[in-house]
Amino acid sequence: MSARRNAVAAVATLVALAPFTAAPARAQDDGPRVYQLVPNGARTFTAFAVAKRGNETPEPGTIVPGSEIDTDLLVLRYAQTFDLAGRAFTPFAILPMGRVNATGAAESSGLGDAQIGATLGLIGAPALSPEAFASFEPRFGTSVLARVYFPTGAYDAATPVNLGSNRPSFQLGFPTYFASGRSFRDPSLTSLEVLPTLTFYQDNDDPFGGERSSKDPLFSVEAHLTRNLGARTWVSADLLYRNGGKATLDGVEDAGMHGWSAGGSLAFPFISRTNLILSYQHVIERRDDGPDGWFFRTALVAPF
């Protein structure tokens, strides 16, 4: 019986970690199953590439109307789950690097803005041993998400588009799920994930073309309808809404951001215990001066 319990626990841990992807540093959305509940002690290292094309800069909520901005990122993320007073607590750290190139601007390359953050279970997200996780029946759950973006990225005030933002920002969100299945490892699990967030920005005291730039909070909601196709294979329909983030440069305001994006994701087993997750998303509705373009993300998720 002990060997059988250990085997069940190992399988449960593997299946739980397979969809545990990473949010691309300052790209579009966090993505499906990023904040899905996992057992205590679960650790993941994720490496992924993001190709983004359109009029958005690497800083979330910032656009340059009429521009063509190419962003290519390699992002590394580490996360580990702990038991904190009976609740699942998952701190994470993210380090991006890459390049951004815009029409009529010099290329910005190197390190991006580093991030640290954590989620803490509130409802339906208890701290679970691997054995308890294997039999946990998901229905509804919500957690609180807190994240800090540090101004560590490459930045030059003489260039209108940079890999770094030259200002800290802070994000608060509430990852929430509704699920139907016997457990998170149920091959036919179906879930709806909703993530509302608010991102707050400090001022940039050395912006391009001015003395000081401030930025209003950016509100976003992402939703993912996911369906398991097997133990480690799943698909997702993805939707993202963003509004706000109006910037003021030396007293002159821009229009901010307002737009909808839609796309899909596919996850499947790769080498050994790793999973490969492919995501594509495109802007489908916007104001004339709103966000435009698409992004493609490839994530390699390695539990250990």
The pTM assigned to this predicted structure is 0.88
Split at pLDDT 50, 70, 90, the class of 20 is very low
CATH of the domain at 48: 2.40.128.130
Cα–Cα distance measured from residue 304 to residue 286, given in angstroms and rounded to the nearest whole number = 41
Hey, what amino acid is at 31? G
pLDDT surpasses 60 at 10:
no
The residue with tokens 């329909």 is 237
Split at pLDDT 50, 70, 90, the class of 44 is very high
Total domains in the fold of the chain: 1
Contacts (Cβ under 8 Å, ≥6 apart) of 144: 119, 120, 122, 172, 173, 174
**208 φ, ψ (degrees, to nearest 5):** -70, 130
Burial class (CB in 10 A: 0-12, 13-18, 19+), 209: exposed
Give the torsion through C-alpha atoms of 125, 126, 130, 135, to 10 deg: -70
Q: How far is CA 100 from the centre of its chain?
A: 19
Supply the range of the domain harboring residue 26: 2-303
Q: Mean pLDDT, to the nearest integer, of 9-13?
A: 40
Minimal CA–CA distance to 275: which of 233, 239, 223, 215? 233
Supply the pLDDT for residue 16. Answer: 42
- Contact, 125 vs 172, CB < 8 A? no
Cα–Cα distance measured from residue 291 to residue 266, given in angstroms and rounded to the nearest whole number = 25
Secondary element (H or E) of residue 133: helix 130-135
Supply the pLDDT for residue 28. Answer: 60
Cα–Cα distance measured from residue 94 to residue 23, given in angstroms and rounded to the nearest whole number = 9
DSSP, residue by residue, 235-257: EEEEEEEEEE--EEETTEE---E
Average pLDDT, the chain: 89
**pLDDT, tens only, 217-254:** 999 999 999 999 988 899 999 999 999 999 999 999 98
